[in-house]
Amino acid sequence: MAPRCLPGSGQHAKGGPPATRVCQLTADPDDPGLRPETAAALDAVQQHRAAADAAALTVRGRPVLRLHFTDRVAGLVTVARAVEQL
């Protein structure tokens, strides 16, 4: 089965088929136009939502791997290289 994207809004209620494996990708805010307090507030919302989705999936027996990038581009390049090696 091909990978699927489970957006956070409501999808944790389903969780997909029993064999679903979930990988969450989160990152620090990187918009230079944001004021620091706005970036911190958006980051807090993102992190809490990701944690809540992961908890809901875990309760339903779906394993969750969460990758948090402090540098989005470097993180995605690292993941792409790791997958390429498989």
Which tens digits make up the pLDDT trace of 10-37?
Answer: 454 556 777 888 899 998 888 888 899 9
pLDDT at 1: 40
Angle at the Cα of 20 (from 18 to 23), degrees rounded to 5?
150
Q: Is 42 left (phi over 0), alpha (psi -120 to 50) or beta?
A: alpha
Here the tokens at position 3 are: 């990978």
pLDDT at 17: 77
For the whole model, what pTM was predicted?
0.72
Q: Rounded to an integer, what distance in angstroms lies between the CA atom of residue 10 and that of residue 19?
A: 19
Q: Which residues contact 42 (CB under 8 A, 6 or more apart)?
A: 29, 34
pLDDT tens string 48-74: 999 998 898 888 888 999 999 999 999
Cα dihedral 37→69→53→10 (10° resolution): 80
pLDDT at 81: 96
